[in-house]
Structure 1
Amino acid sequence: MSYKLQAVRGMHDLLPGETCRWRQVESLLIQVLETYGYQEIRLPLVEKTELFKRSIGEVTDIVEKEMYTFIDKSGESLTLRPEGTAGCVRALIEHGLLRTPGQKLWYQGPMFRHERPQKGRYRQFHQLGVEVFGVPGPDADVELIAIGWRWFRRLGIEKKLELQLNCLGSLGERRNFREDLVAYFSGHLDALDEDSLRRLKTNPLRILDSKNPAMQDLIEGAPRLLDYLGEASRSHFQGLLDQLSALGIPYTINPRLVRGLDYYSLTVFEWVVPSEVIAQGTVCAGGRYDTLVEQLGGPPTPAAGFALGMERLLALLADSKTPVQAPHLYLIRVGEQAQEEGLKLSEWLRDVFPDLRLVLHLGGGTFKAQFKRADRSGAQYALILGEDEVTKGYVSIKALRDSQPQRALSRDELLVFLNQLCKQPN
Structure 2
Amino acid sequence: MAKIQKIKGVADLFPEDSARYAFMEKTARDVFSSYGYGELRVPILEKTELFCRSIGEETDVVQKEMYTFPDRKGRSLTMRPEATAGIVRAYVENKIFQPGKVSKYFTFGPMFRYERPQAGRMRQFHQIDSEVFGAAEPQADAEVLLMLSSFLSKIGLEKLSFELNSLGCPECRPKYNQALKDFLSSLDREQLCEDCQRRMDTNPLRVLDCKSRNCKALTEKAPTLPDHLCGECREHFDTVIALIDEAGLKYTLNPRLVRGLDYYQRTAFEVTSGDIGAQTAVAGGGRYDGLVESLGGPKKVPAIGFACGMERLAMLLQGEFEPATDFYVALVDERAAREALIFGEKLRRSGLKGEVGFTAKSMKAQLRYANKINAQKCFIFGADEYENGTVTIKEMTDGGEQATVVRDEYFK
TM-score range, shorter chain: over 0.9
Deviation (angstroms), 1:401:
4.4
For 2:221 and 2:334, how far apart are their aligned partners in 1?
81
Q: What pairs up with 1:72-221 in 2 under 5 angstroms?
A: 72-99=71-98, 101-158=101-158, 160-188=159-187, 189-221=189-221
For 1:33 and 1:369, how far apart are their aligned partners in 2?
45
Please name the residue that 1:422 is paired with. Answer: none
Q: What pairs up with 1:247-262 in 2 under 5 angstroms?
A: 247-262=247-262
For 2:124 and 2:15, how far apart are their aligned partners in 1?
18
For 2:33 and 2:277, how far apart are their aligned partners in 1?
29
For 1:165 and 1:295, how far apart are their aligned partners in 2?
25
TM-score when normalising by structure 1: 0.91
Distance 1:9 1:143, change over 3 A: same
Kindly provide the amino acid, as one letter, of the partner of residue 70 in structure 1: F
For 1:156 and 1:26, how far apart are their aligned partners in 2?
14
Decide whether the 8 Å contact of 2:15 with 2:322 is kept in 1.
Answer: no
For the aligned residue pairs, the C-alpha RMSD in angstroms reads 1.8
Deviations 1:383-422 (A, max 9, x none): 1012322332321012334532332123477459xxxxxx
Decide whether the 8 Å contact of 1:54 with 1:296 is kept in 2.
Answer: yes
* Percent identity of paired positions between Structure 1 and Structure 2: 45
TM-score when normalising by structure 2: 0.94
Deviations 1:310-333 (A, max 9, x none): 00111112xx22453331111012
For 1:40 and 1:259, how far apart are their aligned partners in 2?
25
* Secondary structure, aligned partner of 1:98: coil
Kindly provide the amino acid, as one letter, of the partner of residue 25 in structure 1: M
Please name the residue that 2:235 is paired with. Answer: 235
For 2:322 and 2:54, how far apart are their aligned partners in 1?
41
Q: Which of 315, 339, 342 lines up with 1:341 in the alignment?
A: 339
For 1:414 and 1:102, how far apart are their aligned partners in 2?
53
For 2:340 and 2:224, how far apart are their aligned partners in 1?
72
For 2:177 and 2:278, how far apart are their aligned partners in 1?
31
Please name the residue that 1:391 is paired with. Answer: 387
* Secondary structure, aligned partner of 1:346: helix
Deviation (angstroms), 1:32:
0.6
Q: How many corresponding residue pairs?
A: 409
Please name the residue that 2:319 is paired with. Answer: 321
For 1:3 and 1:404, how far apart are their aligned partners in 2?
48
* Secondary structure, aligned partner of 2:329: strand
For 1:235 and 1:328, how far apart are their aligned partners in 2?
56
* Secondary structure, aligned partner of 2:289: coil
Deviations 1:95-115 (A, max 9, x none): 121237111000000000011
Structure 1 portions without partners, runs of 5+? 417-426
Kindly provide the amino acid, as one letter, of the partner of residue 217 in structure 2: D
* Secondary structure, aligned partner of 2:17: helix
* Secondary structure, aligned partner of 2:18: helix
Distance 1:237 1:412, change over 3 A: farther
Decide whether the 8 Å contact of 2:119 with 2:276 is kept in 1.
Answer: no
Decide whether the 8 Å contact of 1:119 with 1:279 is kept in 2.
Answer: no
Please name the residue that 2:310 is paired with. Answer: 310
Deviation (angstroms), 1:336:
4.5
Please name the residue that 2:226 is paired with. Answer: 226
Q: Which of 368, 371, 375 lines up with 1:372 in the alignment?
A: 368
* Secondary structure, aligned partner of 1:99: coil
Decide whether the 8 Å contact of 2:393 with 2:403 is kept in 1.
Answer: yes
Deviation (angstroms), 1:340:
1.4
Deviations 1:139-194 (A, max 9, x none): 11111111111122223322x11111000111231111111211211211243122
Please name the residue that 2:405 is paired with. Answer: 409
**Corresponding position: 1:267 with 2:271:** no
Decide whether the 8 Å contact of 1:278 with 1:315 is kept in 2.
Answer: no
* Secondary structure, aligned partner of 1:97: coil
Q: Which moved more, 1:178-187 or 1:119-128?
A: 178-187
Distance 1:290 1:228, change over 3 A: same
Q: Which moved more, 1:74-83 or 1:339-348?
A: 339-348
For 1:369 and 1:244, how far apart are their aligned partners in 2?
56
Deviation (angstroms), 1:364:
4.0
For 1:405 and 1:380, how far apart are their aligned partners in 2?
12
Deviation (angstroms), 1:230:
0.7
Q: Which moved more, 1:335-344 or 1:281-290?
A: 335-344
Deviations 1:244-267 (A, max 9, x none): 011011111100000111111111
For 2:243 and 2:88, how far apart are their aligned partners in 1?
27
